[in-house]
Amino acid sequence: MNERPNDSIGCIVSECKFHAKDQNYCTLNKIQVTKHESKATTKQCTDCGSFESEL
């Protein structure tokens, strides 16, 4: 796993194991954005499919 912040992917979800901890960035090289509606019409219809709990 890459531990360096990816300044192209901002993230404030500190509970994710890929969060940069001391900075509001993701450490992944790429994330997968998913939707949980048949047609995404608002940002509430989308999620980060790359999220993994740090617990």
Rounded Cα gap, residues 47 and 55, in angstroms: 19
Instruction: Give the residue numbers spanning the domain of 9.
Output: 1-36
What pLDDT is stored for residue 55 in this prediction? 83
- Among 15, 35, 36, 33, residue whose Cα is nearest residue 24: 15
Q: Which element (helix H / strand E) includes 6?
A: strand 6-10
Structure-block tokens of residue 28: 């992944």
CA distance from start to end of the chain: 16
User: DSSP state, 14?
Assistant: T
Q: Tell whether 22 is covered by a domain.
A: yes
Structure-block tokens of residue 25: 């960035």
pTM metric for this prediction: 0.85
* pLDDT digits 0-9 by tens, 1-55: 568 999 999 999 999 999 999 999 999 999 999 999 999 999 999 999 999 999 8
What pLDDT is stored for residue 1 in this prediction? 57
Q: Tell whether 46 is covered by a domain.
A: no
Please give the tally of structural domains in the chain.
1
Q: Tell whether 53 is covered by a domain.
A: no
